[in-house]
Amino acid sequence: MLLDVRNVSRLFGTKAAVDEVSFSVARSGFVGVIGRSGAGKSTFLRMMNRLTDATSGEILFEGRDILALTGAEKRDWQSQCAMIFQQFNLVPRMDVVSNVLHGTLAHRSTLASMFGFWPDDDVLKALAILDRLGIAEQASKRAEALSGGQQQRVAIARALMQDPKVILADEPIASLDPMNAQVVMDTLRRIHDEDNRMVIANLHTLDTARRYCDRVIGMRDGRIVFDGTPDQLTTGVARDIYGADASFSESATSTSIDALPSRGDDAYAREMLA
């Protein structure tokens, strides 16, 4: 078993943000987590990356309980388990390459990294990753000067720089326009397919989950209420997950280009993406 999540809970005060969650993943896949806002999706991913401590439970990755790690071991796990955020969480005043190089910090001494001595190999690797993601020409710009979609790709580049076994993505496209959203999701899917890294992505839209995921987990009020393949994700099931009333419509949770009314935009997007 690659990943085994056992009865993981997180309380904030007396309220359980994540409530006795269990599931397992046998081998690397593209897993989507859906659910309405407040369902506990972010809290779960943050516990996996150890940004937030769990209240109880175990997460076994390759047989080791990563919730029990501390100090250097915890940071080593974080380096194997990259995280991508909705707001990109780059250092805005630093250039793109530096931001990508931050992916290696867990394995660099504090002092050496503070003086900005990055090994040449790492710099070249960072540039190669930027090239792979199609943003090599932005390499020397400050991160804050880039568009949202470009910043998110820099964040993905930082994640790849970590050479992680798992990539966690917390609503990676929620702040992007449909075109950039598609570029970012395509990129995530590509690094799963090409590198065989496991991806767990919180997604706020059904159609994205259907299109990109091998497996979808639905959360509601901290619990898992659905676990299956994208085909099993019918409108009825979605209604249960989102707890929506009869007026629930899929396009309300959609950011896809296809769901937009204008065909002209669609053609333009395809042209840009080609």
Partner 1 sequence: MVDIAFGPEPGKRPDATAPGAAYLAATRRKRLYGGLLLVFFVATMASGFLVAQDRNAGGFIEGLHRLDDFPAEVLSEAWEKRANLPGLMWSYTGSLVETVNIALVSTLLGVLGAAFLSLLMTRGLARWPRLIPALRRVTDALRAIPEIVIALVLIYILGGGPIPAMIAITIHTMGVLGKLFSEVAENADLKPVEGLASVGATWGQRMWFGVIPQVAPNWLSYALLRFEINVRASAILGFVGAGGIGYELKIAMQWGGGRYDQVVAIFLLLFLTIAVIDRVSDQWRHRLVKGN
Ligand X SMILES: Nc1ncnc2c1ncn2[C@@H]1O[C@H](COP(=O)(O)OP(=O)(O)O)[C@@H](O)[C@H]1O
Using CB under 5 A as the binding rule, whether residue 42 contacts Mg ion is answered as yes
Using CB under 6 A as the binding rule, whether residue 40 contacts ligand X is answered as yes
d(CA 31, CA 64): 20
d(CA 57, CA 264): 50
Q: With CB under 5 A as the contact rule, which of the stretches 25-33, 35-43, 161-169, 260-268 interacts with Mg ion?
A: 35-43
Assess contact for 3 and 168: CB atoms under 8 A. no
Q: Which does 75 bind (CB under 5 to 8 A by kind): Mg ion, ligand X, partner 1, none?
A: partner 1
Residue nearest to Mg ion (CB): 42
Distances, alpha carbon 38 to alpha carbons 17, 43, 76, 113, 259, in Å? 8, 9, 29, 37, 25
In terms of DSSP H, where are the helices of 89-140? 96-101, 110-114, 120-132
- Min. distance of Cβ 39 from ligand X in angstroms? 4
Structure token digits, residue 85: 């955020």
Q: By C-alpha distance, which of 175, 160, 202, 215 is closest to 30?
A: 215
Among 8, 9, 41, 57, which residue sits at the site for ligand X (rule: CB under 6 A)?
41
Assess contact for 103 and 82: CB atoms under 8 A. yes
Give 105's DSSP letter: G
Q: With CB under 6 A as the contact rule, which of the stretches 34-42, 139-147, 187-195, 249-257 interacts with ligand X?
A: 34-42
Q: Which does 179 bind (CB under 5 to 8 A by kind): Mg ion, ligand X, partner 1, none?
A: none
Binding site for partner 1 (CB under 8 A): 49, 51, 74-79, 82-83, 85, 87-94, 102-103, 105-106, 108, 110, 113-114, 155, 158, 162
Using CB under 6 A as the binding rule, whether residue 12 contacts ligand X is answered as yes
Using CB under 6 A as the binding rule, whether residue 218 contacts ligand X is answered as no
Q: Which residues bind ligand X (CB under 6 A)?
A: 12, 17, 35, 37-43
